[in-house]
Structure 1
Amino acid sequence: MNNTEKISFIAKYFGLVVLIIVVWEYSSQHGYIAPYMLPAPHKILNTLVQTAASYVLFQNIWVSIVRVFSGFALAALAAIVIGVLISLSRNFEIITRLILQLLKPIPPIAWIPIAILWLGIGEPSKVFVIFMGAFFPILLNTVGGIRQIDDRYVEVSRNFEVPRGKFIKKVVIPGALPQIMTGLRVGLGNAWICVVAAEMIAATQGIGYMLMDGRQLAQPDKVILAMLLVGVIGKLMDDILGKIENKVLYW
């Protein structure tokens, strides 16, 4: 896509967004859409300005992001380590297979009640739910990536008696890295979904809390604003990780 095509695409994209906002505003102002169902864009903008001016908005965003990356980082570390062990150790795979097969089908959100019972309504329960949401996509992609490594590299390493640690560092991780990065992107998306769900049930801060607070106070403008923030921040996080992926997978 050349520069002219890019400019044309961007112009059409923003033109569509502006058209949607204009139609939305007109419909709200003239009563075609009930305000309690879908408030006018200017009301959502006012709510954005008010919450930003009081720093409440930034506090909620920051709290959610910290929770996400805490659970995501722990999940990534655990999933990659366990994925390597499963792929390289037949005994470890046999020991963990049944447990992982039982846990994998459980939706991450289903862990919220037991997380609250075990860990209370504080930060650990939310981080745990985020961990469970991010863990399996990363694990499965790590295992899949390692098992797709060309057998010739493995044979060469064995013939030269490459130490296990060096083999993992120089052959296993680089060979599986494309799929590991895919798992990280999926896991991060799941983590973001999970933090919003967890905050909607048990939290006093965060974007999920904003959603529930808006519902309880019958403030649809606050609810819509929180939903838009969820989408925008989720897209930004995926874009950032995508750029990191492009840098890491430079070949």
Structure 2
Amino acid sequence: MSGELAEHVAVSSARVLQGFGIAAVLALALGIVMGLIGPLNRLADLMVQVLKPIPPIAWIPLSILWFGIGEEAKIFIIVLGAFFPILVSTLDAVHQTDVRYVELARVLEVPRLNFIRQVMIPGALPQIMSGLRLGITMSWMCVVAAELIAASSGIGFLIMDGRVMSNASVVLAGMITLGVLGKLTDDALRFAERRLVRWRAGFSGL
């Protein structure tokens, strides 16, 4: 069982990391660009308000029509799950850039790329990292739904197989494994956040 579980973990982990990686790149790039440009910002707000409430599992029929039942459909579902939390956090982080810094950059005629790289992104990092952590959590949640699409491997497949075989121990093993993997990846991003945002001191309890 342990060897079989390890194989399912490896397959699901690869899907999650690929889907999360694609979502992070797209959401970060779009969030920064749309947050900086007024008309695009309004378009982004409309897109988020319309598409965000749709659960990723509702996209499964369309993903099958568009991509078939291969890996692309599964990755698509994971990308959708992770994309919007990261996009919303990035947009909010851009909007919360201190206006004084923006005005000072204009007075000093700081090139826009330099301003983005040296001022805006460092200031936005805490909120962006929070979005990434939420995105990776959503990725693990969505991988179960994604692996309902004619999958023959993965933790989601293992859980469904346990249900079909009425084997509660297999279902519980899959659920616990999913929770542990989610915790490990969240801890990894939390560690990266502490390293990247050392200047930010927050309340950590009494």
Amino acid at match of 1:246: R
Number of residues paired by the alignment? Answer: 199
Retained in 1: the 8 A contact 2:75–2:146? Answer: no
2:56 to 82, 86, 108: 108
Deviation at 1:188, TM superposition (A): 0.6
Amino acid at match of 1:106: I
TM-score (normalizing by structure 2): 0.92
1:73 to 21, 25, 28: 21
Q: Does 1:176 align with 2:124?
A: yes
Distance 2:150 2:89 in 1: 31
Deviation at 1:93, TM superposition (A): 2.1
Aligned to 2:189: 241
Question: Which structure 2 residue ranges, 5 or more long, are not aligned?
Answer: 200-206
4+ residue runs over 4 A deviation? none
Deviation at 1:91, TM superposition (A): 2.0
Which SS does the other structure have where 1:204 is aligned? coil
Retained in 2: the 8 A contact 1:200–1:211? Answer: no
1:250 to 194, 198, 203: 198
Distance 1:97 1:228 in 2: 36
Distance 2:53 2:101 in 1: 34
Retained in 1: the 8 A contact 2:85–2:132? Answer: yes
Which SS does the other structure have where 1:121 is aligned? coil
Question: Which structure 1 residue ranges, 5 or more long, are not aligned?
Answer: 1-50
Question: What pairs with 1:115-126 in structure 2 (closer than 5 Å)?
Answer: 115-126=63-74
Deviation at 1:211, TM superposition (A): 0.5
Deviation at 1:62, TM superposition (A): 0.7
Distance 2:66 2:58 in 1: 14
Which SS does the other structure have where 1:221 is aligned? helix
Deviation at 1:96, TM superposition (A): 4.0
Retained in 1: the 8 A contact 2:105–2:115? Answer: yes
Question: What pairs with 1:134-213 in structure 2 (closer than 5 Å)?
Answer: 134-213=82-161
Amino acid at match of 1:238: D
Distance 1:140 1:96 in 2: 9
Aligned Cα root-mean-square deviation (Å): 1.3
2:179 to 195, 220, 231: 231
Which SS does the other structure have where 2:147 is aligned? helix
1:63 to 11, 33, 41: 11
Deviations 1:121-154 (A, max 9, x none): 1111111111110111111111111111111111
Report percent identity of matched pairs: 50
Closer, same or farther: CA 241–83 of 1 in aligned 2, 3 Å = same
Deviation at 1:183, TM superposition (A): 0.3
Q: Does 1:217 align with 2:141?
A: no
Higher mean Cα deviation, 152-161 or 95-104?
95-104
Which SS does the other structure have where 1:238 is aligned? helix
Which SS does the other structure have where 1:73 is aligned? helix
Aligned to 1:88: 36
Retained in 2: the 8 A contact 1:134–1:187? Answer: yes
TM-score (normalizing by structure 1): 0.76
Deviations 1:49-76 (A, max 9, x none): xx22xx3211110111110111111111
Amino acid at match of 1:186: L
Aligned to 1:130: 78
Which SS does the other structure have where 1:202 is aligned? coil
